[in-house]
Amino acid sequence: MDTTPSPTLRLTEFSHGGGCGCKISPSVLREIIARSAPGFVPADLLVGIETADDAAVYRINDRQAIVATTDFFMPIVDDPFDFGAIAAANALSDVYAMGAAPLFALAIVGMPIGRLPVETIRRILDGGESVCAKAGIPVAGGHSIDSVEPIYGLVAIGLVDPANIKRNRGALDGDALVLGKPLGVGVYSAALKKQQLPAGRYETLVAAATQLNTPGIALGRLEGVHALTDVTGFGLLGHLLEICRASGVGANIAFSDVPLLPDAAALADQGIVTGASSRNWASYGDEVDGVLDATVRALLTDPQTSGGLLVACSPSALDDVLSAFRRDGFDRATVIGRIVAGAPRVAVDAQPAAAIAAPERASIA
């Protein structure tokens, strides 16, 4: 993979935001969806918009259901190949987050024709196709428009046994919370745009954002996994709150055990964060308990592009969950807290997650 940004063309200069930081804020999105008409809901539509889940699921028969989702955004990095690869991995993540395996994809392409060279646009598509090839699926078509800002993403189609569907609801009191990838992609992207990303961290960003969330397939088969989602534009707190609201529970997390990309905390401490982080906090900060300084708040609300899976599982399934991550190379998958009974709120605790999630065990990870 080409991991060196072009010295002559900066894709991020073409857009007002990048990656999942482009998402509409959580509070505005909830208001839009709340005003949507109910519409026709057939019995075979197993998952729709009711809990802001990662994808729609439609049952074909007792053993097969189609998983359908779409995701697209503006450049988070300057290298066109890397932009395409990150966007594709991010779109496929929603399929894995449902416990499904991807089948094929369709490309969504909006480009400022006449401002971006055709070769650059072709490299964006090449990056997306390379990630789909790693996932073992084709890009079978798509749609393109001439747009003011560069936009790329996928419609991702997957297949799952209805018995193995994982949703963002179903978390139970006492469940352990496991995060599959470190946080900090949004901070990195903000530093990149300001040309303040430390040496060597660009490669770290690309590696994190293009790592496919393939453990989702194995997690879908584990009965002890009660809820599953991926952490993207609303940050860790936002997506954990979605699990809490959908499940009718609360959560405690230990910030000291939340995995972070190298230098992410130092960059956030310097105020190098995305605008989406403050929008996220404004949307749901009143549902978070604990004394959070500016750096901690920025990291927990940091919009992740192609972020990690977030799992709520029974303590008895914890070893199997961590093994599923380790088998696919997610060495930093970590227990960060637990689900608790009560109102759908998140408390940020300084206590180590080992004590929060499973006090009878000296070490979890």
* Range(s) of the chain covered by CATH 3.30.1330.10: 11-164
The DSSP annotation for 187-231 comes to: HHHHHHHTT-PPTTHHHHHHHHHHS--THHHHHHT-TTEEEEEE-
Q: Which residues are catalytic?
A: 20
Distance, CA of 227 to CA of 97 (rounded, Å): 10
Please tell us whether the domain made up of 11-164 is placed in CATH 3.30.1330.10: yes
Residues of the chain with pLDDT under 70: 1-8, 14-39, 350-365
Please tell us whether the domain made up of 176-357 is placed in CATH 3.90.650.10: yes
Residue 6 has a pLDDT of: 44
Q: What is the pLDDT of residues 87-126, one digit of tens each?
A: 999 999 999 999 999 999 999 999 999 899 999 999 999 9
H/E element, 34: helix 26-34
Q: What is the pTM of this model?
A: 0.88
Q: What is the pLDDT of residues 116-135, one digit of tens each?
A: 999 999 999 999 999 999 99
Distance, CA of 45 to CA of 29 (rounded, Å): 22
Residue 37 has a pLDDT of: 57
Residue 308 has a pLDDT of: 98
Q: What is the pLDDT of residues 6-56, one digit of tens each?
A: 446 778 776 665 544 555 556 565 565 555 656 678 999 999 888 888 899
Residue 52 has a pLDDT of: 82
Residue 38 has a pLDDT of: 61
* Range(s) of the chain covered by CATH 3.90.650.10: 176-357
